[in-house]
A and B are shown apart, each in its own frame.
Chain A
């Protein structure tokens, strides 16, 4: 876990930073929420043109110039390795769950928690929103947390309980949470668009979307709407991915399950959201109810983590290790 001094600082967008780009264009970009060169470089040209209200040629030019400034193109793998050291990890509250995640929820990546109702998805999110505000010595990210609550599950009393049980000042923790109640999938898209600016302005280190899929499942019914739904979902996830990489924040999303009637033996549930969801998330963790108020977690997809199953418990402190036995 590297300290904050190792972190690569973003280059803020300001007039005259890009040669040949007028100040009006820069103002337009800033107004649309593109505050750093990294974000401009990572955004597709079409999206830049649409959201900043400029011609495609200008957008392409701005994008190209920003890319030249910040994107070194091909780099030796050793540098990537060095860069990975600047990644930080946020504890989930349970050492064992941290263990299977390689030390906690990673910045610069999307971590997805999947499970049926009552499997602890929301509890993990709430615990993370407390632990992420702790200093790095205590396994935190020392920053604020943005929460997009699509299901109305954000209960401030619970956060205050978790904070108090973990020896934190509940008022300070609640002050460091930025919460948005999201009412439909278009609203979700708008909220995700506003995240880069929010993250830069408020030193947000963790973004939580609980749950990613709920509104999409409600609004797009039937096979014929599947393509449109997946496109929109993909676009939202892609923007979250970009945010995670560019601003080096940790993104945590939750996902629901659906029952597969054809499964006769074993667990009939599988994650919703299809391949789009599966490919967009860096790490996928499947949660299941266990005996005596414990939960089982298993990494089901990760570029480097092994598939191990661990048991954790949900208590006053949020998520913590389950007692053996």
Chain B
């Protein structure tokens, strides 16, 4: 059919495709994971953005099977201010918390840095070349994609830059790699600040996520989903902190939790085609992830199993109750039918 495939086939393959995790189960459910070929635009409080990007980078480096995936990290015009290309210390901490060998994982990151808009355009072209040469790249991450663009969205340089970014999206879509880009926020007349980069960037992004500054002492940060092809705007509270803190006391816990959820998702794949079940499963994961902190400090790691068991037992008992109720109704209907036919017989008689 020359390039056309049936929607059902796409649906089934989308269930199989491995969406990349963001590091927060709540954000994963909100976004549906980071899907191949999609462009995710994250902006807002610089600290929260930085934190999320680091977690995503770490997640992308986790080996899957035999594959030792690589990721591309591109920084645009930040060097002069912060004097750091990438926060290696923070990354190493996160990598170790996720049970990865830091040195090996760091070797698998391609780092590029652009100091001017022209450089950024040529680097984006380089990333395209990298993607063609290295099939094991699993993620492309671009920090401050619109920083080097001129303020005037109609200026030629801005258009060139964003055009190059969109071409990068085209290549990543062909190679089945998700692209995560960040940018600064711009105050405007609206309630929520908008990302810089103008309408063009907003149209280009498949998903737009605004991260709010965490209030003092609050355990959770807030994320606003502004654009998503399958969901309306909504706000969630999420936490990424758990990973590091827990990592030190019980290193493999978070990793094992994620593994278990991924495994369950794979095992129940067929059952999860049904929307109701998928929602039930998601809400369970959401509940679990809220309990993650508590679970991390718990003595036994089998709590998750217990929860699973409990939910299975609960379901069983609910099913039994329903069966009983149905049986009761059936008997009642039988009675009524018999009475009606008896009544009819008496009338005719």
**Contacts from A to B (Cβ < 8 Å):** 116-118, 122, 146-147, 151-161, 164, 170-171, 173-184, 187, 190-191, 194, 197-198, 202, 211, 214-215, 217-219, 221-222, 256-259, 261, 269, 293, 314
- Interface 9-residue window, one of B43-51, B76-84, B201-209, B304-312: B201-209
Contact of B65 with A by CB under 8 A: no
Bound: A215/B174 CA distance, A: 14
Q: Which of B153, B156, B173, B200 contacts A222 (CB 8 A)?
A: B156
Determine if B227 and A259 form an interchain contact, defined as CB atoms under 8 angstroms apart. no
Picked from B3, B204, B232, the residue with its CB within 8 Å of the CB of A191 is: B3
Q: Give the residues in chain B near A184, CB-CB below 8 Å.
A: 170
Pick from B159, B204, B226, B233: contact of A221, CB below 8 A: B159
Which of B7-15, B246-254, B288-296, B337-345 has 4 or more CB atoms under 8 Å from chain A?
B7-15
Check B203–A214 contact: CB distance below 8 A.
yes
Expressed in whole angstroms, the Cα–Cα distance for A75 and B322 within the complex equals 68
CB distance from A96 to the nearest CB of B (A): 19
Give the residues from 202 to 256 in chain B that come closer than 8 angstroms, CB to CB, to chain A.
Answer: 202-206, 208, 226-227, 229-230, 232-233
Q: Indicate which residue in B8, B156, B198, B233 contacts A118 across the interface (CB closer than 8 Å).
A: B233
Contacts of B39 in A (CB 8 A): 152
Indicate if B286 sits at the interface (CB-CB under 8 A): no
Minimal beta-carbon separation of A313 from chain B (angstroms): 10
Residues of A within 8 A of B64 (CB): none
B4 & A261 in contact (Cβ 8 Å cutoff): no
Asked if A118 contacts B229 (CB within 8 A), the reply is no
Closest 10 CB pairs of A and B: A177-B7, A218-B166, A156-B11, A158-B230, A174-B7, A174-B8, A153-B229, A117-B202, A155-B230, A194-B2
Could you write out 16 A-B pairs with CB less than 8 Å apart?
A: A154-B7, A156-B8, A158-B230, A159-B7, A173-B7, A178-B1, A179-B4, A187-B3, A198-B1, A217-B163, A217-B166, A219-B167, A222-B160, A257-B199, A258-B198, A261-B154
- Whether A177 lies near B6 (C-beta < 8 A) is yes
Q: Which single member of B8, B174, B227 contacts A171 (CB below 8 Å)?
A: B8
**What residues of A have a CB within 8 angstroms of the CB of B199 in the complex?**
116-117, 256-259, 269
Partner of B37, one of A152, A214, A257: A152
| A179 in contact with B10 (CB, 8 Å) | yes
- Find chain B residues with CB under 8 A from A175 CB: 6-8
Find the A residue at minimum CB distance from B39.
A152
Q: Are A157 and B163 in contact (CB under 8 A)?
A: no
Give the shortest distance, in Å, between B171 (CB) and chain A (any CB).
Answer: 8
Minimum Cβ distance to chain A for residue B318 (Å): 22
Which of B8, B198, B275 has the most CB atoms of chain A within a 10 A radius of its CB?
B8
Check B166–A214 contact: CB distance below 8 A: yes
In the assembled complex, which residues on chain B have CB atoms less than 8 Å from the CB atom of A171? 8
Cross-chain contact of B163 among A147, A219, A256 (Cβ < 8 A) = A219
When C-beta atoms are compared, the residue in chain B nearest to A218 turns out to be B166
Decide if B21 is an interface residue (CB 8 Å cutoff): no
CB within 8 Å for A176 and B7 given contacts A221-B156, A256-B199:
yes
Number of B residues with CB within 8 Å of any CB on chain A: 45
Chain B residues near A157 (CB-CB < 8 A): 11, 14, 32, 230, 275
B118 within 8 A of A: no
Q: Assess whether B302 is interfacial by the CB under 8 Å rule.
A: no
Give the chain B neighbours of A219 by CB distance below 8 A: 163, 167
B residues near A152, Cβ cutoff 8 Å: 37-39, 169, 173, 206
The chain B residue sitting closest to A215, CB to CB, is B170
Please give me the residue from chain B that is nearest to A191 by CB atom: B3
> Cβ of A187: which chain B residues have Cβ within 8 Å of it?
3
Assembled-state Cα–Cα distance A183/B175 (Å):
11
Flag if B275 contacts A146 (CB, 8 Å): no
Cα separation A190 to B14 with both chains bound (whole Å)? 25
> Distance in Å from the Cβ of B203 to the closest Cβ of chain A?
4
Chain B residues near A174: list those with CB within 8 A.
6-8, 10-11
Nearest residue (CB) in A for B121 is A221
Contact A180 B4 (CB under 8 A): yes
- B6 partner, pick from A179, A217, A221, A222, beta carbons under 8 A: A179
Residues of chain A lying within 8 A (CB to CB) of residue B132: none
| Chain B, residue nearest A155 (CB) | B230
Decide if A261 touches B152 in the complex (CB within 8 Å).
yes
Whole-angstrom distance between the Cβ of B11 and the nearest chain A Cβ: 4
> Is the beta-carbon distance between A179 and B166 smaller than 8 angstroms?
no
Query: Is B300 among interface residues, defined by CB-CB distance under 8 A?
Result: no
Interchain CA distance A323-B192 in the complex, whole Å: 25
Bound: A152/B208 CA distance, A: 14
Tell me which residues across on chain B come within 8 A of A191, comparing CB atoms: 2-4
Nearest-neighbor residue (CB-CB) of A222 within chain B: B156
Beta-carbon contact of A259 and B4 below 8 Å: no
Q: A259-B199, A293-B233 are in contact. Are A178 and B170 (CB under 8 A)?
A: no
User: Could you tell me the distance between the alpha carbons of A261 and B151 in the complex, rounded to whole angstroms?
Assistant: 12
Q: List, in ascending order, chain B residues with CB within 8 A of A261's CB.
A: 152-154
